[in-house]
Structures are given as C-alpha cells and as structure tokens.
Amino acid sequence: MGLFSESVEVICTDTGQPQQVQWKGMQYTVTNEPVRWYERRQWWLEESRAPLGSGAGLVDHEIWRVQLQAPGEKETSNGTITLDLVRHVGSGRWRLLRIHDAAPARAVEPDEAA
C-alpha cells in the first residue's frame, strides 16, 4: 500500500457516491459499493486559524474506498484496483490518497520492448 496526494477526476452519482474515476489518462468504473468514512486531520498545522462557521472539511477528511475496473478488463480480482480517495469539502476536488493494489500492468508494444 502506498500513500499519495495526486489529483484525480471523479464523476459521482446523484447521491454523491463515486461512480467513475479518471486517473493517469484512463477512465475507470467503480465496480462495487464504495465505502465512506472520515479521518481526523491536523488542521492546526495547515491553517493559521479556523474561520467562524467552518466545521465540515476543517476537522475531518471525507475518505472513499473504491474498487475500480479499467475499460476493457474483465470483472475479476486481477482486473480491479482498490484506491482510497479524499474529497475536499470546500472546493469539491478529489485526490488519490492510498493505493491498496498494484496498478494493472500496461501492455508493452513489441517495438517498445527493444
């Protein structure tokens, strides 16, 4: 498992659950029900002060664990990748936080191998 902080694009359902993730130039589909939880962050190390009325997003990070399927891959454990994504409440931006499985290997073209 690795820790990251890389921007990703996420398309959500009407209820706010991740449905598709664009990462490293590929569009992945969420295959299973994503899991959501919150992790406490050390906001006092990142912010000089807490603005009045700010609560959600200041103290906790919203984390989503998703299992993704690459386009054209069969829905097997070999073709899926599990990521933890964090959504910044204020901006709505998404970042890759953790990779739990190795990324699927990219096929090497014969002329690339030489």
pTM of the model: 0.71
Quick check: is 15 in a domain?
Answer: yes
- Domain residues for the domain of 88 are 1-34+61-101
Q: DSSP strand E in the chain: where?
A: 2-12, 18-23, 26-30, 35-40, 60-69, 80-87, 94-99
What is the number of domains present in the chain? 1
Quick one: pLDDT at residue 47?
A: 63
Quick check: is 56 in a domain?
Answer: no
DSSP 3-22: EEEEEEEEEE-TTS-EEEEE
Angle at 15 between CA 13 and CA 18, to 5 degrees: 45
Q: Assess contact for 61 and 54: CB atoms under 8 A.
A: no
Q: Assess contact for 10 and 85: CB atoms under 8 A.
A: yes
Quick check: is 55 in a domain?
Answer: no
Quick check: is 4 in a domain?
Answer: yes
Quick check: is 110 in a domain?
Answer: no
Q: Which residues of the chain have pLDDT under 70?
A: 1-4, 43-59, 73-78, 90, 101-114
Quick one: pLDDT at residue 15?
A: 93
Quick one: pLDDT at residue 53?
A: 59
